[in-house]
Structure 1
Amino acid sequence: MGRTSHQLSIGVDLHKTQFTVCGLKADGEILHEGIYPCTHEGYDAFASWIHEAQEKHGLSAVLAVEATGNARYFKNFMENEGFRGKIINTLKFKVVVESVNKTDKRDARVIATFLAKDFIPESHLCSQYEEDLRRLLKTRSQLVKTIVGLKNNIHGMMLSYGIVTKPSQFQSKKGRQQLRNELEAHTEFNVAAAGVLDCILKVLEDTSASLKEVEQELERYVEKDDAVAILRTIPGVGLVTSSTIRAWTADIDRFDRYKEYASYCGLVPYLKESNDVTYLGHITKRGPKELRTAMVQVVMGMLRMREKNPNWIFYQRYGYWKSTKGSGKAIVACARKMSRVIYCMLKNKEGFNPENMNPERNYSSERLSKVS
C-alpha cells in the first residue's frame, strides 16, 4: 500500500516485557513517543492513544513491528482494534540492526520513518493452525534428539566397560534388562554405573512414551488436512515429512511461480552478475531450514524406493548428477526439482502421478543423455 497524507505511521520496537512506539504524520511530525508494558493494560493504553489520535487528527493508523516471538499476538491484538499491521522482514531491513547508536526509542523512530515512506519489507505471517503444527513438529524433533543423546550416552558408558551394545537392545524391556545384566556380570561392576544406567533408561522410556504421544497428536491434527494427504502420495513420504512441508509452506498461492517457491526453500544458487560476468554460487539456504531439510528427505525417501521404478526420469537425473558432481550436490539438485513437483501438486491439488516420471512422456532420448 502506498503512503498517503492521512496515514499515521507507527513504528514499534517490541520486546518481551515492554515495547517502545513512535507515531509519525506524513509530514514527519512526531505525534507520540512512549514506552508501554507488554500486558493487557499496556496494549489497551496504546490502542486508546491510537483511537484518540485518529479521531483528533483524522488519520488512519498503520503499525510496523519486527518479527519476534510475540509479534503475532501483538499484531492480532491491534488488528482486532481495527488497525493495520505489518511484520517487518528483518533479513531485508538492516537499518535497525546495523545502527551505530542503537536505542529502543531510535529504533521505533527509524521504523516509523521507513513506514511513512512505504519502504518497509514485509514478512509473511503464518496462520495459527500452521504455528501450532510447527510447534508439534519442533517438539517431536527435540524429543528425538533427546532420545538419540540418551542412547549414545549408554553406548559410550557400556563401551567403557568393554561391552558392545546394539540399537535393538533399547527397543524392548527384555533388551534393556539384558543391558543391566551384562553390566552387573562385568568383573569391574560398579554400583554407581548401574544407578546411572537405570536413571538413563527410565528417562529414555519416559521420553519415548512422550514421543509416541506427540506423534499420535500430530496424526490427529493433520487428519483432515488435504495438503498433507496430497504430499503423502509421494513415494517414500510419511507423516512427519509431509506435515513439515505443509507447516512451513503455508499458503502455496502466495507463490506465483515454482521458482519463487524454490527460492523460498533456499534451494536456488546465489547469482552475482557484473558487466558481462555471471557467477552462480552455492545454494542460498535462505528460508526455513526445516522446509529445506524436508525436501532433501523427500529425495532420500524416493531414492530408497529406486528399485521399484528404476526408469523414472528422477532417478536418471540423479544418476547423471551423481556421476558428474557427486552425491551431495546431486541430492540437493534433486531436492530443487522436487520442490517444483510439490509446488505443482499443491497448486493443482493433485496427488503424485507416476506417469509424469516417464522419460518418454516429457523428454527425448537425446536430452536424457545430457540431463542438466
Structure 2
Amino acid sequence: MGTATLIGIDLGKHYFFLHAQDRHGHEVWHKKATRTQLLTVLANCPASTVAMEACAGAHWLARKLQAFGHQVRLIAPQFVRPFVKGNKTDFADAEAICEAAARPAMRFVALKTPEQQTLLALHRVREALVAERTATANQIHGFLLEFGVSLPVGTLAITRLPALLDSPAVTLPPRLISLLLRLHRRYGLLSEEIAQLDSELKRQLDEDEAGRRLLTIPGIGPITASCLLAMAGDMHGFKRGRDFAASLGLVPRQHSTGGRPTLLGITKRGDKHLRSLLVQGARAVMQRAPRRTDALGIWLRSLMQRRHSNVVACALANKMARIVWAILAKGGEYRAHPATA
C-alpha cells in the first residue's frame, strides 16, 4: 500500500471500489470498502493522487481526502468511459478512472466549496418549483379548454381565476370549480415559495463582491449571477473565455475531416439551466438593442440584420459568457465601450 501513487475510486451509495497504481501505472492493490472503511483506508494511505468521477458525493469526499493530505482529481464521467476495458464492472470502472487521471491532457472538474453546493441546491429547488408551477398553470388552462373557456397567456389570467369562476357567463360543474380553486391555491403557494427563494438568492448575492460585479454585465440579473457563482467554480481552470463558453455548450459542434472544417449547431453541453439563463438574458438585451448606442449595440444590430434571432441569441450568450470569465478571472467590472466612428 505504501507504493501507490494514484488511487481511483468508483463511487457508490453504500460501497466503494478502489484501484491503486504505482508511478509506472502497474496495479498495486484493489479492494471494496464501505463508506466508513473508505475513510479509514485512505486516512492510513501515504499522500497520493486520488481520482473520482464528478458525481453525487464527489465534492464532499474530495474535501475530506484533501484534509488527509491527498491531491484529489475529479473527472467528468464521459471522459472516463472510453478507458473501460472489457465488460463494465466496478473494479474496471475504478481502473478506468486511474487511466483517465494519468492522461497529461485530461481536463478536471473544479472542486466546489460547501457554500457553492448550498447555493446550487437552492437553484435546483427553485428550478423544480418553477417547473411545478408551470405544470399547474397548464392544468388549469387544459381543464378550462375542455369546457370551452380559453384563458389569456400569462400569470395575470391565473391570478384572476376566482373572479372568472364567479362570473355568471361561465357555467362549470361545481366539482370542477372546486378543483380549479384548489389548483389556484397551489399555484399561489408555489409562487410564494419561489419568491422566498429569489429573496434568499438575492440576499446571498448582495454579500458577494464578485456577484455584484457580474450584475454590471448586460443581460445578467440576480438569478443568473447567483447561478454562475454556484456552477462556475474557479475560473482559473479555464485558460480563456472561449473555453468557458465551450464548457456551457455555447459553441458550434464540429464535424471536420480532410482539412475541411464543418460547423453544426451548438453543442448544448454543460449545465442546461445555466445555458438557458444566459440565452434568456441575451434575448432581453436584444429587445433593447435599438436603444443601445455603445459598441455592443452596434454589433448586435448588425448581426440581427444578417442572422436569425436564435443564432443572434446564442452568439450574444457566448459573448456574455466570455465577459463573465474575464470579470471573475481578472477582476474589474463591465464597462460599455463607446461606438467607434
For normalisation by structure 2, the TM-score amounts to 0.87
Superposed counterparts of 1:267-286, under 5 Å: 267-286=250-269
Q: State the match for 1:242 in structure 2.
A: 225
- CA 1:344/1:116 → structure 2, altered by over 3 Å: closer, same or farther? closer
What CA distance in whole angstroms lies between the structure 2 residues aligned with 1:276 and 1:118?
A: 26
Query: Does residue 296 of the first structure (1) align with residue 293 of the second (2)?
Result: no
Superposed counterparts of 1:199-214, under 5 Å: 199-214=182-197
1:107 to 93, 96, 117: 93
- CA 1:130/1:30 → structure 2, altered by over 3 Å: closer, same or farther? same
Percent identity over the alignment? Answer: 23
| Consecutive aligned runs of 4 or more in structure 1 exceeding 6 Å deviation | none
Q: State the match for 1:37 in structure 2.
A: 34
SS at match of 2:49: strand
8 A contact 2:290–2:297 mirrored in 1: no
8 A contact 2:250–2:318 mirrored in 1: yes
What CA distance in whole angstroms lies between the structure 2 residues aligned with 1:212 and 1:301?
A: 21
Query: Does residue 132 of the first structure (1) align with residue 122 of the second (2)?
Result: no
Residue 298 of structure 1 and its aligned partner are, at CA, apart by 2.6
Residue 91 of structure 1 and its aligned partner are, at CA, apart by 2.7
Which structure 2 residue ranges, 5 or more long, are not aligned?
A: none
Superposed counterparts of 1:288-367, under 5 Å: 288-309=271-292, 311-354=293-336, 356=337, 358-360=338-340
Residue 349 of structure 1 and its aligned partner are, at CA, apart by 2.9
What CA distance in whole angstroms lies between the structure 1 residues aligned with 2:230 and 2:62?
A: 20
Q: State the match for 1:145 in structure 2.
A: 131
Deviations 1:10-36 (A, max 9, x none): 221111221111223335554432222
What CA distance in whole angstroms lies between the structure 2 residues aligned with 1:135 and 1:232?
A: 21
User: Based on CA coordinates, which of the two structures has the bigger radius of gyration?
Assistant: 1
8 A contact 2:79–2:100 mirrored in 1: no
Residue 241 of structure 1 and its aligned partner are, at CA, apart by 2.0
* Range with bigger deviation, 67-76 or 84-93: 84-93
Residue 185 of structure 1 and its aligned partner are, at CA, apart by 6.4
Superposed counterparts of 1:5-44, under 5 Å: 7-27=4-24, 30-38=27-35, 41-44=36-39
What CA distance in whole angstroms lies between the structure 2 residues aligned with 1:240 and 1:28?
A: 45
Letter in 1 for 2:95: R
Residue 345 of structure 1 and its aligned partner are, at CA, apart by 3.3
8 A contact 1:87–1:123 mirrored in 2: yes
8 A contact 1:62–1:83 mirrored in 2: yes
What CA distance in whole angstroms lies between the structure 1 residues aligned with 2:16 and 2:164?
A: 55
- CA 1:141/1:105 → structure 2, altered by over 3 Å: closer, same or farther? same
* Range with bigger deviation, 112-121 or 73-82: 112-121
Q: State the match for 2:166 in structure 1.
A: 181
Residue 275 of structure 1 and its aligned partner are, at CA, apart by 4.0
What CA distance in whole angstroms lies between the structure 1 residues aligned with 2:4 and 2:30?
A: 17
What CA distance in whole angstroms lies between the structure 1 residues aligned with 2:326 and 2:8?
A: 39
2:149 to 137, 154, 163: 163
- CA 1:21/1:288 → structure 2, altered by over 3 Å: closer, same or farther? same
- CA 1:158/1:110 → structure 2, altered by over 3 Å: closer, same or farther? closer
Which structure 1 residue ranges, 5 or more long, are not aligned?
A: 55-59, 365-372
What CA distance in whole angstroms lies between the structure 2 residues aligned with 1:344 and 1:28?
A: 38
Deviations 1:247-306 (A, max 9, x none): 222223333322222222322223454444222333233332333223222322222333
What CA distance in whole angstroms lies between the structure 1 residues aligned with 2:314 and 2:329?
A: 22
Question: How many residues align structurally?
Answer: 338
What CA distance in whole angstroms lies between the structure 2 residues aligned with 1:246 and 1:236?
A: 16
8 A contact 1:93–1:121 mirrored in 2: no
8 A contact 1:321–1:329 mirrored in 2: no
Deviations 1:38-59 (A, max 9, x none): 3xx23343235x43xx4xxxxx
8 A contact 1:9–1:113 mirrored in 2: no
SS at match of 2:78: coil
Query: Does residue 89 of the first structure (1) align with residue 76 of the second (2)?
Result: yes
What CA distance in whole angstroms lies between the structure 2 residues aligned with 1:68 and 1:202?
A: 37
- CA 1:121/1:258 → structure 2, altered by over 3 Å: closer, same or farther? closer
- CA 1:119/1:307 → structure 2, altered by over 3 Å: closer, same or farther? closer
Residue 100 of structure 1 and its aligned partner are, at CA, apart by 4.0
8 A contact 2:59–2:112 mirrored in 1: no
What CA distance in whole angstroms lies between the structure 2 residues aligned with 1:100 and 1:83?
A: 30
1:233 to 200, 211, 216: 216
8 A contact 1:18–1:36 mirrored in 2: yes
SS at match of 2:56: coil
Residue 101 of structure 1 and its aligned partner are, at CA, apart by 0.6
- CA 1:118/1:345 → structure 2, altered by over 3 Å: closer, same or farther? closer
Residue 113 of structure 1 and its aligned partner are, at CA, apart by 4.8
